[in-house]
Structure formats: structure tokens, C-alpha cells
Chains A and B, each alone.
Chain A
């Protein structure tokens, strides 16, 4: 089994979806990053549907969207780390995350996964995580939310 220390990263992209898992994954990554003073990049992608132009003034105007990145930055600062916040607008969230991680030459991509069930009771993984797992050139950590009472 490889030494856990050697598998640590130097630059991680943390994909935030604006949900409750964001704080958990930022805390997790920050706790690891502190050890090696790794670089952290928080990415939040706002999906723009095809009825609007890609450069529609959506993300920049939304306080809620800004808050997603600002909250992550606050958690990172509490760990005495600097986190670069990146706000994106894209047609496809997963592709945008992978492209940003590739362009940034990240060696780790961390993504949260909400625990959801399809109608009929089967676990629903969605489109984003499989795409990332399939296309990301770096290591990927998927942090699944714990099951809540409603979902079990």
C-alpha cells in the first residue's frame, strides 16, 4: 500500500456545487493541504441553459453564487490557507470543471456528490461525477454526502 504522505497533492481544484457538502469537502481538502502547503482552487460553475447566451449576466449578479466561493474562502482562511476562487459560466458543468482542472495543471480534483435516489429507489449518481471520473487527467476524490433519514 503506498504511503499516504506520498499521495498528497500540490495543487487541488475543489468543485463546489453550492450545496451542504461544500463546507465538508473544503474542510477535508484544507486539512490535507495544510500539511504540504498545497495550492487550492475553488471552482463554482453556473450552468447556462441554451435559451440564454453563454455570456449572459447571471453569475456575477447573484449574491448566492458569490457566497458559495466566499464561504469556501473563509474556511480555507481558517486553516491559514489561501484559496483562489474561480467563478465560471458554462453549458456543461462537468466539462467546465475538467477543463479548468486541466488548464490549471491540478493533480487533484475534489468533487462532492449529493446522496439522491431515483424514482424506484435506485441510487442516482447524476451526470457530472461520471464525466469527471472518465475525463479528468488528475486524481479525483469524490466525497459523497452521508445518507439522510429521508433518503434511506
Chain B
């Protein structure tokens, strides 16, 4: 019977009505035939401990959100530029520094003044090639063309997993590198913070993780603001600096004496390797370029065209910023200073703006943009992990949304890995850079190769021109991938080269496990499931006669006629005493007393189950043995230590035994 009834008298005699209680109403709602939708109350934990945890979670992460609360907001080009390009644009904050460092560390610091700009221009050309190639991806994959989906569609499993692995590594490094760089910008402005670098970085990542677990809307206006503040102040810095160099002739400063003194390589002796090393270091400027191609569906219609346009604008801005900052840095002869940390961009800003509020504001905007870039990884990594989870290459819990509709597992994992990277690198951006660009260029190459295959396959209008663009992109990025990997191999690129196959193998292994499980559990569609055909028997391990045991015996009797109790004892007299009482009080259920002179409890029960199996007639199908365990329910958490320990051990020992089912029969105290 559903609900109680309460009769009510109407105004007129005979007008009676009955109010029908609806017990489901607080927890569920009928939404279709045989379909209930749970309300928030149904998700509230019932035990006091779980309720306390839920309350703490609600304070930290916010109240659980309804499924419908997910926003499908479409982005305008202006907003999308800010949101998707924070990662790419922010790399202009450290790419110049990496080029100059490459010269300095090779003993050619003084030559950076003359050569860094050329290297930056070469990278800008590469950026143009990559941008034009990815423009094609926007057109061909309006549903979002991350390198994983492009390679999955065009090459299949292994290539797509290589791309996915490279992306996963890339996202972790983006979070770690951007955070480290953001902290370095803060340290450049306030040198007193230098000893706290790692702490600030880890705290910042913790806060970003927490914010994302709360369900940050990356489409929010708040995320567009830092990008535009940085853009405005950086472009102004370049304009003022260029004016001072070109018009006021303030540039062309010689390198500092200590750099000159440490320079051992002459201009004539600069080899290709050094130039390639500088090029590889500066190539980090390209990281994040593919973000727009991945997020095409978030654009307002026409999605592909808007995304393609935004991508070119982004590449243009990035090129201007990168080349502009390098131009200023080389002309003002700026070199990174390690103690206390002074980044190149900070020194350039200090020279251009002076040591005043404008400089501090610029540093703040730069740090904000870099934190925002780290945040983009927190959107992308969990989403990719979720896609991989859905495809069976990652544990399935990565594709479950948490209370706040965020992919919580992925967010937490990224937070932990990125924080570990920051700790291991001691908060130094430069220490992480060798690992960074390798994955990015592997991704670019796979994605562009996938596009070549795509055009050859579809041969859609204009395919030949598009194929040439992607082929150029593919060759260029492949060469850079080889260059970056080889020149930075010893510095740390080897780690990525080793890690990618490990990740790919791990994902293939997970997929195989899931496939095996699916095969094992598969039920053929043509089979009609009839009633059970195996016989059932019940075995109840008992510790005497008590209410919990009686309840378990009664339950066992509902499932089979073949019910027996097993009592393991080391004292035969005690056993005999129980038998007499048992036969008197529980007639019809045989009690088997197992004497255990070695005082073991679990093993004799298991051995008894084996004996039962062996005694079963071989011509009959083996029966299902239901082991019914009487369990006393503790009222308090600490009471759990006092009760049911043997039952727990028994349960663990029986779990997985063939044709054996465990049934817990809890006995609850009335008060």
C-alpha cells in the first residue's frame, strides 16, 4: 500500500474527501512511465558521519548542482578570444626568457642581443604555419577537433592514444609551468617572496583546484578581464618601448659585463645546435595554440568560421607580443636574473614603465593571466580524461560528474600532479620547459597528419589547397618535434619520450580489462532469461543461539529447504551443549559442529563448504551455496571494532568462491 489516507469532512453533509499521503514526494518525482527522478533530498546521506562530511563538502565546494544547471553558453569571438587564448598568449611571458637563457647557459649570453630576435621571428613564422593548419581543423571538425579526436577519426587507436598521452602531459605541464611563471612574476615585483615560491605555487594550484571543484564557469566574464588587461598593458609596453628604441634611440644597449665575461662562444663559432636549442626553447610560445580548435562548439554560429577567425587573431596577437617583447628585451639587453628572481618580461616592464604603479599593475596582470592559463588546463584535462574514460581507456570514474557538475576526479588528479611538478622543479619555470614543448609538437604533428588523411578521405571542395596547408604544417611541426626532442633530450625531454609509451600501454591495458569484463558479463540478445535452474542450499555459520542467529536462520529458510548451521568450536563439550539446545529450539535445521583443535575458525568453514561441494552428486549441476552471515549492527562507529570481526574475515575469504553467495542479515537493536 502506498501512503496513508486521512478522511476530511466537507462543508456540506456527504461531501467527504480523503487526503492521500504521497510518501515518494519528498525524495522522488514521477517523470515518465515507470520512471522516477531523484530529488536533492534523496541524495542526502543518512548516517550522521556521512551527513557531516556532506556539510563540510557543501561549505568548501558548494551545494550539489542539478543536472540542468549546466550552462551551454555560446561565446562571442571577443569573449572566446580571451577565454581560449589565455594559455597561448600567456606563453609570451616566458618564451623570450627561454630563448635568452638558452644562449646564456651555452656560454653565448652576449650573443643573445643579436640573435634572439631572429630566433623569435623564426618561431613566429612557425606559429603562422601552425595557426593556418589549425584553421583547417576548425573547418573540418565543427564538433571540436582536439588532436585526440582528429587522430581517432583518421588513424585509429594507437595514434590517438599517443596524441592523448601527449595532451595529458601537456595539460599537466601547462598548469605547472603557468603557475610557476605566475609566481615568478609576483616574485619579480616583490623580491621578498622569493623563498616562498614553491609554497605560493602549490597554494595557488590548491585554490584553482578548489575553484574548479566548485564548478567554475570558464565562460564567465571574470575570465576575460585578465586577458584583456594583460593584452592592453603589454601592447602599450611594446609601443612605448619601440618608440623609445626607434625614435628616441634608447636601445642598442650592450650586454651587462658579467654576461660578456661569461660568454665563451664567439659570434663566428655559433653553431646550428645552439640556434636550434634557442629555437626549441622559444617554441614553448606555441603551446595552447590548439585550444580554439578543440573548443569550436562553444562559439556562436557560424561556429567554424568564428573559431577560425579567432584563431588567426590570437596567433597574430601572440606573434606581435612575442616578437615585440623579444625586440625590447634584446635592445635593452635584458637577461634573466635568478637571485632574487627577475623575469625578462618584468625587467622590460620596469625599464618601460619605471618602478611605479604601472609596473606593479603590469606584473599583476601578467600573473593573473598565467594563473588563468593554468586554469584552462583544469577545464581541458578533466574533459579529455572523461572522454578517455567514456572510450574505456581511463578508469570510468573520470567520466562521472561530481556534485557540482565538474569532472572531480580529473581535477583532483591534475591538481596533485601539477603541484608535484612545481615542488620537484622548485618553482622554477625553466626547469619544467624541456618537458613542455615535446608533447605539444607531437600533438601538432599527429593532428596535422590526421588532417592530411581527412582531406584525402573526404575530398571535400577545396581539399587540395587545404591538404597542402596541413601537409606544410605537419612537416614543419614534425621537424620541430624532432629538433625539440633531440636538443632537450638530456635536459628532460627523455622523460616525456619514455612517459608517452607508458601512458599508451596503460590506457590499452585498461581498455583490455574493460573489454574482458564486458565480454564476461555479456548476455546474448537472443537468450530469454527464465527462472533459476540451479538448486540452492543455505549454510549459516553461527556462534550460538541468539536473536541475530535466529533472524539469519529464518531468512535462510525463506530461500531453501536445505538449510544447515555450522558451529566451529575448540571445545567439544560446549558444542554438545549447543547441539542439545539447538535441536530443542530450532527444529528442522541441522547444526553441524566442527571441532577445531587448532583454534582456526575461518579455514574450517571454508573446508566444510568444499566438502559439501565434493559431496554433491556429480551428475547434477552444482548448487548455489548461500552463506548467510548473522551480523550485529553497531550503534556507534567505535562499536564496529567490537563486533563482526570474524564475519568480516569470513566474508573476505568467501568472496569470489565459485557458485557461492554471501548474504548479510543485519540485526538491529531496538534502542
Chain B CB within 8 A of A63 CB: yes
Contact stretch, chosen from A17-25, A81-89, A111-119, A142-150: A81-89
Q: Beyond A70-B29, A98-B11, is A60–B17 a contact (Cβ under 8 Å)?
A: no
Chain A CB within 8 A of B302 CB: no
CB atoms of B16 and A66 under 8 A apart: no
From residue A57, how far is it (CB to closest CB) to chain B in Å?
A: 6
Chain B CB within 8 A of A122 CB: no
Bound Cα distance A85, B29 (Å): 12
> Within A21-78, which residues are at the interface with B (CB < 8 Å)?
45-46, 54-55, 57, 59-61, 63, 66-67, 69-70, 73-74
Bound Cα distance A70, B8 (Å): 23
CB atoms of B7 and A92 under 8 A apart: no
Bound Cα distance A89, B11 (Å): 16
From residue B380, how far is it (CB to closest CB) to chain A in Å?
A: 32
CB atoms of B5 and A96 under 8 A apart: no
CB atoms of B22 and A85 under 8 A apart: yes
CB atoms of B30 and A61 under 8 A apart: no
CB atoms of B29 and A74 under 8 A apart: yes
Bound Cα distance A90, B7 (Å): 10
Q: Which of A61, A74, A102 is within 8 Å of B11, CB to CB?
A: A102
From residue A99, how far is it (CB to closest CB) to chain B in Å?
A: 4
From residue B12, how far is it (CB to closest CB) to chain A in Å?
A: 7
Please give, as numbers and ranges, the residues of chain B lying within 8 Å of A103 by CB-CB distance: 8
CB atoms of B30 and A66 under 8 A apart: yes
Bound Cα distance A98, B12 (Å): 11
Bound Cα distance A15, B651 (Å): 55
CB atoms of B25 and A85 under 8 A apart: yes
From residue A77, how far is it (CB to closest CB) to chain B in Å?
A: 9
Please give, as numbers and ranges, the residues of chain B lying within 8 Å of A88 by CB-CB distance: 17-20
Bound Cα distance A90, B3 (Å): 16
Chain A CB within 8 A of B34 CB: yes
Chain A CB within 8 A of B43 CB: no
Bound Cα distance A3, B31 (Å): 39
CB atoms of A99 and B15 under 8 A apart: yes
Q: Beyond A66-B30, A67-B30, is A86–B7 a contact (Cβ under 8 Å)?
A: no
Please give, as numbers and ranges, the residues of chain B lying within 8 Å of A107 by CB-CB distance: none
From residue B26, how far is it (CB to closest CB) to chain A in Å?
A: 11
Q: Which of B5, B17, B22, B25 is within 8 Å of A100, CB to CB?
A: B17
Bound Cα distance A76, B20 (Å): 21
CB atoms of A89 and B20 under 8 A apart: yes
Please give, as numbers and ranges, the residues of chain B lying within 8 Å of A66 by CB-CB distance: 22, 24, 30
A89 to B, closest residue via Cβ: B18
Bound Cα distance A56, B12 (Å): 22
CB atoms of A96 and B17 under 8 A apart: yes
> Within B294-333, which residues are at the interface with A (CB < 8 Å)?
none
From residue B15, how far is it (CB to closest CB) to chain A in Å?
A: 4
From residue B570, how far is it (CB to closest CB) to chain A in Å?
A: 56
A48 to B, closest residue via Cβ: B18
CB atoms of B18 and A90 under 8 A apart: yes
CB atoms of B17 and A69 under 8 A apart: no
CB atoms of B16 and A54 under 8 A apart: yes
Q: Beyond A66-B22, A102-B11, is A89–B30 a contact (Cβ under 8 Å)?
A: no
Please give, as numbers and ranges, the residues of chain A lying within 8 Å of B21 by CB-CB distance: 60
Bound Cα distance A63, B3 (Å): 13
Chain B CB within 8 A of A95 CB: yes
Bound Cα distance A91, B22 (Å): 20
A90 to B, closest residue via Cβ: B17
Please give, as numbers and ranges, the residues of chain A lying within 8 Å of B2 by CB-CB distance: 57, 60-61
Interface residues on A, range: 20 to 34
From residue A13, how far is it (CB to closest CB) to chain B in Å?
A: 13
Please give, as numbers and ranges, the residues of chain B lying within 8 Å of A55 by CB-CB distance: 5, 7, 18
CB atoms of A95 and B20 under 8 A apart: no
Bound Cα distance A87, B22 (Å): 8
Chain A CB within 8 A of B618 CB: no
Please give, as numbers and ranges, the residues of chain B lying within 8 Å of A90 by CB-CB distance: 15-18
Chain A CB within 8 A of B78 CB: no
CB atoms of A99 and B17 under 8 A apart: yes
Bound Cα distance A54, B5 (Å): 10
From residue B349, how far is it (CB to closest CB) to chain A in Å?
A: 48
B19 to A, closest residue via Cβ: A88
Bound Cα distance A90, B1 (Å): 19
From residue B387, how far is it (CB to closest CB) to chain A in Å?
A: 31
Most A C-beta atoms less than 10 A away, residue of B3, B17, B30: B17
Please give, as numbers and ranges, the residues of chain B lying within 8 Å of A54 by CB-CB distance: 7, 16, 18
Chain A CB within 8 A of B620 CB: no
Q: Which of B5, B12, B25 is within 8 Å of A89, CB to CB?
A: B5
Please give, as numbers and ranges, the residues of chain B lying within 8 Å of A102 by CB-CB distance: 11
Bound Cα distance A82, B3 (Å): 22
Bound Cα distance A89, B16 (Å): 9
From residue B32, how far is it (CB to closest CB) to chain A in Å?
A: 8
Please give, as numbers and ranges, the residues of chain A lying within 8 Å of B12 by CB-CB distance: 95
Please give, as numbers and ranges, the residues of chain A lying within 8 Å of B25 by CB-CB distance: 69-70, 85
From residue A94, how far is it (CB to closest CB) to chain B in Å?
A: 10
Please give, as numbers and ranges, the residues of chain A lying within 8 Å of B531 by CB-CB distance: none
Q: Beyond A60-B3, A70-B30, A74-B29, is A86–B8 a contact (Cβ under 8 Å)?
A: no
Q: Which of A74, A86, A89, A95 is within 8 Å of B15, CB to CB?
A: A95
A63 to B, closest residue via Cβ: B30
Chain A CB within 8 A of B49 CB: no
Q: Which of B1, B3, B10 is within 8 Å of A96, CB to CB?
A: B10
Chain A CB within 8 A of B33 CB: yes
Q: Which of A60, A61, A63, A95 is within 8 Å of B10, CB to CB?
A: A95
Please give, as numbers and ranges, the residues of chain B lying within 8 Å of A91 by CB-CB distance: 14-16
Q: Which of B20, B30, B34 is within 8 Å of A60, CB to CB?
A: B20
CB atoms of B15 and A96 under 8 A apart: yes
Please give, as numbers and ranges, the residues of chain B lying within 8 Å of A61 by CB-CB distance: 1-2
Please give, as numbers and ranges, the residues of chain B lying within 8 Å of A95 by CB-CB distance: 10-12, 15, 17
B29 to A, closest residue via Cβ: A70
From residue A84, how far is it (CB to closest CB) to chain B in Å?
A: 10
A68 to B, closest residue via Cβ: B30
Binary flags per residue of B36-64, CB closer than 8 Å to A gives 1, else 0: 00000000000000000000000000000
Please give, as numbers and ranges, the residues of chain B lying within 8 Å of A67 by CB-CB distance: 30-32
A84 to B, closest residue via Cβ: B25
Bound Cα distance A61, B12 (Å): 28
Please give, as numbers and ranges, the residues of chain A lying within 8 Å of B16 by CB-CB distance: 54, 90-91
From residue A115, how far is it (CB to closest CB) to chain B in Å?
A: 27
B68 to A, closest residue via Cβ: A78
B28 to A, closest residue via Cβ: A70
> Within B494-509, which residues are at the interface with A (CB < 8 Å)?
none
- List 17 additional contacts besides A54-B16, A88-B19, A95-B15; criterion CB under 8 Å: A45-B17, A57-B2, A60-B2, A60-B21, A60-B22, A63-B33, A67-B30, A86-B19, A88-B17, A88-B18, A89-B17, A92-B15, A95-B11, A95-B17, A96-B10, A98-B11, A103-B8
4 tightest A-B CB contacts, nearest first: A90-B17, A99-B10, A60-B3, A60-B2
Supply 23 A–B pairs (Cβ within 8 Å), ascending by A: A54-B7, A57-B2, A63-B33, A63-B34, A66-B30, A67-B31, A70-B29, A70-B30, A70-B31, A73-B29, A88-B20, A89-B5, A89-B17, A90-B15, A90-B17, A91-B14, A91-B16, A95-B11, A95-B17, A99-B8, A99-B10, A99-B15, A100-B17
